[in-house]
């Protein structure tokens, strides 16, 4: 198995370090590098014959930022699997990158073993959720394979769809005409059902398990 990797990151030193690191993985080879989204799109337009299997995309870049870059890549090159790779880890940024085409979100500073694991899982399964993995990901997968789907109440389903948007929990309570305490209850219930500990983890699991309609997240 040979996985071709592309990287777009405006920090040249980090870019070179990432190239050296990934080229050291047994099944990976970096075949495309760019310092920003605009440069990357020009490269791909000029040479569309050698698209990478996976593209690591930084979030904060001049010109086209990470969200804008993944939007364009998803539209023009849907076969490329996209992984966000950034120092930012706030909920809004993570959810925006996932909503616009990324199938994994990695924070810079992760160890080499997890990076390699994420690349392999994205290549083989089409997704990687570190939040779920750290909370017994294998058990979740086994449960799904046995057709034991997560059961949601009608209001939990509505809440989950809204939680995948940019709305705050207070906004969601207002939109659903419910008390914030009730919304807190839905959140805690879903954290338990999805076996996650954060809103980001909840959103990633909801998308992976197809509990929300991705088209409605745009």
**Domain parsing of the chain, residue ranges:** 3-128, 141-217
- Contact between 8 and 62 under an 8 Å Cβ cutoff? The reply is no
What is the CA angle 137-124-31, rounded to 5? 125
Q: Which of 18-22, 98-102, 128-132 has the lowest mean pLDDT?
A: 128-132
Token pair for 74: 């998803």
What's the distance, CA 89 to chain centroid?
11
**How many other CB atoms sit within 10 Å of the CB of residue 10?**
17
| Span 103-152, pLDDT tens digits | 889 888 888 999 999 999 999 998 887 765 454 434 444 544 433 567 88
Indicate the fold that domain 3-128 takes in CATH: Rossmann fold (3.40.50)
Residues 6+ apart with CB under 8 A from 57: 8, 37, 66, 69, 70, 73, 82, 83, 84, 85, 97, 102
- Helices H / strands E in the chain, number of each: 11, 5
Q: Which of 28-37, 92-101, 209-218 has the lowest mean pLDDT?
A: 209-218
CATH number attached to the domain at 141-217: 1.10.10.10
| Span 22-73, pLDDT tens digits | 999 999 999 999 999 999 999 999 988 889 999 999 999 988 999 999 999 9
CA distance 117 to 66: 22
């Amino acid at each position: 198995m040979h996985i071709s990797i592309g990287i777009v990151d405006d920090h040249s030193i980090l870019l070179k370090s990432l190239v050296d690191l990934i080229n050291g993985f047994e099944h990976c080879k970096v075949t495309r590098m760019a310092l920003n989204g605009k440069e990357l799109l020009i490269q791909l337009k000029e040479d569309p014959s050698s698209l990478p299997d996976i593209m690591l995309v930084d979030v904060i870049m001049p010109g086209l930022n990470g969200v804008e870059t993944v939007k364009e890549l998803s539209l023009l090159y849907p076969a490329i699997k996209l992984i966000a790779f950034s120092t930012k880890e706030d909920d809004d940024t993570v959810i925006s990158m996932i909503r616009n085409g990324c199938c994994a979100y990695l924070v810079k500073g992760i160890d080499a073993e997890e990076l390699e694991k994420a690349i392999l899982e994205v290549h083989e399964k089409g997704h990687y959720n570190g939040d779920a993995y750290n909370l017994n990901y294998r058990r979740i997968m086994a449960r799904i394979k046995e057709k034991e789907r997560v059961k949601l109440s009608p209001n939990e389903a509505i809440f989950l769809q809204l939680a995948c948007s940019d709305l705050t929990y207070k906004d969601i309570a207002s939109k659903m005409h419910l008390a914030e305490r009730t919304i807190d209850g839905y959140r805690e219930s879903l954290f338990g059902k999805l076996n996650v500990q954060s809103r980001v983890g909840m959103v990633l699991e909801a998308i992976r398990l197809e509990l929300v309609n991705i088209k409605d997240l745009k």
